Amino acid sequence: MEKKPRAIKDKRYEEKHKAERKAKNATWGTSVPREKADRINAFLEKYGYTKVQLIEAGYKALLDDAAEHKSFAR
């Protein structure tokens, strides 16, 4: 199978900028049971949210929760 010129160009670009992308972004190798992932994806699609928005909102909620627990501990 012969690669198309665009595919060759894209591959060269990706290889050239791989370290830059790794330094700038993080990818978590995690998995979610398929049924739960399907429900989450359906929710995101229905309301127009992205997975990044989901992560950011979840992180904020956990920060708020942790701050609340910390204030009760004193």
21 pLDDT higher than 80: yes
8 A C-beta contact, residue 40 and residue 32: yes
Reported confidence tier of residue 73, pLDDT bands at 50, 70, 90: low
10 pLDDT higher than 70: yes
The whole-angstrom distance between residue 68's C-alpha and the CA centroid of its chain comes to 26
- List all residues 6 or more positions away from 51 whose beta carbon is below 8 Å from its beta carbon: 44
pLDDT at residue 41, rounded to an integer? 97
The pLDDT tens digits for 26-57 are 888 889 999 999 999 999 999 999 999 999 99
The domain limits of the chain are 5-73
Instruction: Look at the chain and count its residues.
Output: 74
The Cα–Cα gap between 66 and 40 comes to 24
